[in-house]
Structure 1
């Protein structure tokens, strides 16, 4: 009996992007991650980390090469279709979290379901389950996000990003403002919840101390090497 090869969660092929104004260019010969793998992307400011994330999210399209997300050719989709795919299949945890301060905890999480056009009843239950698992029981759900501590707001951001069980979760420097204890707690919660969903994680940071949480890394200073084991 022949088994079908597994489709990578994310795959880049000879990817090139450049800004015509200054001649800067990002080139990644190859990058492939299986479902559930966690990748640490490290690099200093100006090394192209944000550009890479925008390409992976479908916000920016490459000048050449291919981006495949769970078997779909992201580079070939229209802007509208990329938006739809991003809403359903890509979760993002931002450095600034981007919660809406006056909305409740639960409504902040459920915003993702609205953009993804996911079934309301199913998403409501999943949002509640995620918040509970992340240490925010029902007594918090009606509170405005602005009334939570930074650590609690981060947990809301994780729940929102994982609500639709996306193929890919991108974390963009989310621990940069945290002390060591809160940083480590955040990392443990984020990766544990991603594992439960089988979600592939791409975590971007200049903090090399965080590399110990990952099995794979990509150095922006040596993209030709691609993904390597930590």
Structure 2
């Protein structure tokens, strides 16, 4: 048995950008009132998360062996067998994504895109409270999947002692068959992925007008607050009067 690189740099960069933007957006949405200016950054980090997913989908089609979606194990029989194996400690070794992480990755990416689309529609005032409930349902489902994913990694690690949790940091998995071929680091693509994401994030921040809470993006104006008509207009009007009193 041997240690081999199975996750290239672009895959690992996506993993941590995705996790970071999700955690930040979720924390802001659950700790800051939506009338607060800081709440707008919940939406900005949501856009960053969606951007990273779009790039990951491209890499999932054209990337290295274990980054491709074709390498994911999405057979339900394999998933059931894997889950049973976690409990008994008799799992086979999966070089790339195991069945549980394959399903978790695909579901989380779909949910992220759903959150992005519903979030944009919410701030444009489409479908009102119904869409807000859908957005909240997607967010809560996302949280459940994340918790299950983390729990699965912890249980797997406790049973197999193979440092699987570190594979998304180092790119290497341990105790693999001698015939396992390591994937290339794809350093250039990984750095490009990071550069594009940082550049897109800077673009969003630069084009965000905090005074009006609007974002100019690709020729369109997005209001980074829930479009609730008179309620927010009243908030802005009251804010303006307060500023006038201070003046």
Q: Compute the TM-score of the two structures, normalised by the length of structure 2.
A: 0.26
Higher Cα radius of gyration: 2
**Could you say which structure has the higher helix fraction?**
2
**Could you say which structure has the higher strand fraction?**
1
